[in-house]
Chain A
Amino acid sequence: MNDSDLSVHGQAALTEGSPYEIPSRKLTMWLFLISDAVTFGAFLYVYGYIRVATPDWKRPFETGSIVNVMIMTFILLTSGLTMLGAVEASKSGHKTKTMRFMAGTVALGLLFTALHVREWFGLFSRNITLSSGLFGQAFFTITGLHLLHVIGGVIALVVVARGYWRDSLTPGHVESTGLYWHFVDLVWMFVVPLVHLTNIGRS
């Protein structure tokens, strides 16, 4: 690097391009998601560990709960689609459309949260709580961590949508938030079969 390089290329000549050809914001989000995937993986392994080691495992779910979980799954997958719409609309520079898609995603996220809380209260009414035994501990820890991610995602969507509308944030921010939202969706694909569907009560 010499003075002539600097004069020709400016400060950009001092830094190398990303080896992945993506903005650092996006790379950071990917790294966070991978570490978060390992965190969820560890929780699911712990769940599997105590499930295997416990002969009289409680199976509290009935068909009503499973229908509720299926509706929640449908809502979360659909919110992934609206999030894709928001990302693409922001890349195309359509602010109003981006806001509509993001509002739809937030609404679906809130609906998912409400159904999740309803599911929890259904279990509370049957004396299944965080302190009622191994099933309660495992179930509420895993679904609680996931619900925390959903609520965090909804807050992030609102903040990013507000910033994007006011031109303080870019389509890149919308895309990074979208990556996070799809990850929340992805984790749910493991939580439903392993934590809900393997715990349906047999009469």
Chain B
Amino acid sequence: MALARRSENVIKKYLPVYFALLAISAIEVLLAYRNIAMPMLVAMYLALAIFGATLSVMYFMHLADEHRSLFLSLIPAAIFVLLLMNAIWSDSLRLLHMRPFAH
């Protein structure tokens, strides 16, 4: 009986994270209908998405409960590789000025 209650309690424990993720989605939709410049909007979306992803990884995927070495082996390496991809932007902006896809 106690074990049966445990799984229900665990879901209750994660409800704050669940509602936080729903709230993040709602905020994103509200922002979409505000008159915000696109670069700023994308920056806000990325900040919200990263915050949501952090909550999901740490609590839904239980990385916060794992050995610290697992976090240190996985997350910094992934962030580093993703940051390296930022090298494309200078070329992308160059293309914008050349307007190769304009009709």
Contacts and interface: CB of A to CB of B under 8 A. Distances in A.
A84 B24 CA distance: 20
B70 A56 contact: no
A183 interface: yes
B7 to A, nearest CB: 4
A73 B42 CA distance: 19
B6 A198 contact: no
A182 B21 CA distance: 12
A182 to B, nearest CB: 5
12 contacts: A20-B67, A22-B66, A27-B70, A34-B74, A52-B89, A70-B26, A85-B7, A94-B4, A97-B7, A185-B56, A189-B52, A192-B25
Interface of A: 19-22, 27, 30-31, 34, 37-38, 41-42, 45, 48-50, 52-56, 66, 70, 73-74, 77-78, 80-81, 84-85, 88-89, 92-94, 97, 101, 134, 178-179, 182-183, 185-186, 189-190, 192-194, 197-198, 200
Interface of B: 3-4, 6-8, 10-11, 14-15, 18, 21-22, 24-26, 28-29, 31-33, 38, 41-42, 45-46, 48-49, 52-53, 56-57, 60-61, 66-67, 69-70, 73-74, 77-78, 81-82, 85-86, 88-89, 91-93, 95-96, 99-103
